[in-house]
């Protein structure tokens, strides 16, 4: 199942309506927002594996997302990026609803590390995800966030391995988005 969201064909106000520091860890982690952070535009694609083959564990991928938030200035994008990194650091352990089976899942921060992607500032997050429906298997939420000029890019997945999101995948997303508009 695939879901797409975008902020539309007009630029949004740079007024901040959603403050990361005010979101619960569940809302911060569970929802992907394309507008409201003072960004002028946003877009995301989400893929959910409706029938995961658990016999292929740990190679099974449960879901994944890619998103971009475009800000008016690089400084505004950097502020959002820094707030997102701080929020991940604060959300070390919490539970959230598992919509697939109407139970709970627990997320525990395992690591948060800084890196670069194509010379852009980035961080990688790895969380342990315990599903009440499959207690015998461990899953991981792997998230990468990249600050590139006035854009913030995010790719995440939930699967049976704790591998970081590949820099090459992030680079492809950045190149595709930046090819859509001319730089001044």
41-59 tens-digit pLDDT: 999 999 989 899 989 999 9
The domain limits of the chain are: 2-49+61-178
Q: Would you state the pLDDT for residue 183?
A: 55
Residues of the chain with pLDDT under 70: 1, 99-100, 182-184
Per the prediction, the chain carries an average pLDDT of 90
Predicted pLDDT at 168: 92
Looking at the domain covering 2-49+61-178, what would its CATH class be? alpha beta
Distances (CA, A) of 148 to 74, 120, 145, 168: 8, 6, 10, 15
Question: Percent of the chain beyond pLDDT 70?
Answer: 96
Burial class of 121 by CB neighbour count within 10 A (0 to 12, 13 to 18, 19+): middle
State the chain's maximal CA–CA distance in angstroms. 53
């Amino acid at each position: 199942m695939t879901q797409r969201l975008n902020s539309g064909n007009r630029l949004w106000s740079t007024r901040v309506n959603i403050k990361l520091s005010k979101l619960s860890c569940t809302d911060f982690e569970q929802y992907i927002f394309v507008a409201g952070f003072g960004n002028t535009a946003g877009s995301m694609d989400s893929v959910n594996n409706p029938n995961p083959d658990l016999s292929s564990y740990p190679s099974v991928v449960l879901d994944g997302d890619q998103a971009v938030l475009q800000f008016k200035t690089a400084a505004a994008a950097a502020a959002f990026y820094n707030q997102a990194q701080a929020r991940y650091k604060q959300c070390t352990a919490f539970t959230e609803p598992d919509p697939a089976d109407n139970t709970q899942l627990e997320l525990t921060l395992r690591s948060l590390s800084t890196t670069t992607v194509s010379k852009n500032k980035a961080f990688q997050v790895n969380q342990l995800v315990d599903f009440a429906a499959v207690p015998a298997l461990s899953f991981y939420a792997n998230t990468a966030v990249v600050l590139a000029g006035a854009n913030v890019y995010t790719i995440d997945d939930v699967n049976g391995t704790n591998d970081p999101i590949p820099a090459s995948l992030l680079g492809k997303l950045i190149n595709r988005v930046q090819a859509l508009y001319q730089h001044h």
